Amino acid sequence: LTSNLFFKTNKMNHYQELTLEGNNGLYRYVYNPKVYPATKIQYYFIIKTEQKIYGTPLNDEGELTPVNKLLINSFEYYKQKARLNQ
């Protein structure tokens, strides 16, 4: 079983492919904004078994549809949240 992460940021033209190492069925990748600076990220996963290939996430028609996320500076996020909770 192999699991690959495909991602690109708003500063990239093409997807980057990373093979994820599994640990008891958990596959994890820690995004480093210093290596890939960006304000938006788009990603999807491909999982290969010996017999089949799966992709996720899928839309209602069963088509591979990448996830779009806005990247927020965590320091600024918590600073603003603390200011709003006062």
Q: Which stretch of DSSP H or E encloses residue 83?
A: helix 74-84
Cα(36)–Cα(12) distance, rounded to whole angstroms?
Answer: 9
Poorest-pLDDT segment among 3-17, 32-46, 48-62, 71-85? 71-85
* pLDDT at residue 86 is higher than 80: no
Residue type, 16: Q
**Selection from 70, 5, 68, 11 nearest residue 35 by Cα:** 11
**Whole-model pTM over 0.85:** no
pLDDT score for 65 = 96
Q: What is the DSSP letter of 50?
A: S
Short-list 25, 23, 35, 53, CA closest to 7: 35
